């Protein structure tokens, strides 16, 4: 695969979910500073594998930015995302969101500081 920005040795994978297909995907996250993270890559992964690799245990807390090469959701291609109160990271590119994890639906408020603990469960 080309186009993946090299990541540091501290990079890890956290889990996200596609708003449209309700399927889980992994996001490669590179910590770039104190409470700052860069989303570098996204890839399809099934729930069982994510559990085996403990990807569902990793949480992201702080400020997030997307790398220029971040490909977006591997199912629907949208490059945006939002952080649901339930802890899920959900792909999105509009001002309205729907969380397949908890069923939340509503208007999104954008901010740069998130408090996310990704507990999995989807």
Q: Which residues bind Zn ion (CB under 5 A)?
A: 18, 73, 75-76, 84, 86, 88, 91, 99, 101-102, 104
How near is the Cβ of 121 to Zn ion at its closest, in Å? Answer: 10
Residue 20 DSSP label: T
Judged by beta carbon, residue 21 or residue 31, the one nearer Zn ion is 21
Cα torsion through 67, 117, 43, 24, rounded to 10: -140
Distance in angstroms (rounded) separating the CA atoms of residues 95 and 52: 34
96-98 and 81-83 beta bridge pairing: unpaired
Beta bridge mates, 14:
27
* Residue nearer to Zn ion on the CB measure, 45 or 91: 91
- Shortest Cβ 17–Zn ion spacing (Å): 8
Closest contact distance (angstroms) between CB of 9 and Zn ion is 29
Q: Which residue, 60 or 88, has its beta carbon nearer to Zn ion?
A: 88
Q: Cα separation of 22 and 109, whole Å?
A: 21
Kindly tell me which of 20 and 31 has the beta carbon lying closer to Zn ion.
20
- What are the two backbone dihedrals, phi and then psi, of residue 50, each rounded to the nearest 5 degrees? -60, -40
Minimum Å gap between C-beta 33 and Zn ion is: 27
């Amino acid at each position: 695969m080309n186009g993946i920005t090299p990541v540091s040795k501290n990079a890890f994978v956290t889990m996200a979910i596609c708003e449209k297909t309700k399927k889980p995907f992994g996001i490669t996250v590179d910590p770039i500073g104190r409470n700052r993270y860069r989303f570098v890559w996204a890839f399809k992964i099934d729930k069982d594998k994510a559990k085996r690799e403990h990807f569902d245990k990793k949480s992201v807390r702080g400020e997030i930015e997307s790398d220029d090469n971040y490909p977006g959701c591997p199912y629907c291609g949208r490059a945006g995302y939002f952080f649901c109160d339930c802890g899920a990271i959900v792909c999105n590119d509009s001002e309205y969101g729907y969380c397949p994890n908890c069923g939340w639906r509503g208007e999104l408020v954008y901010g740069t500081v998130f408090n996310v603990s990704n507990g999995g469960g989807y």
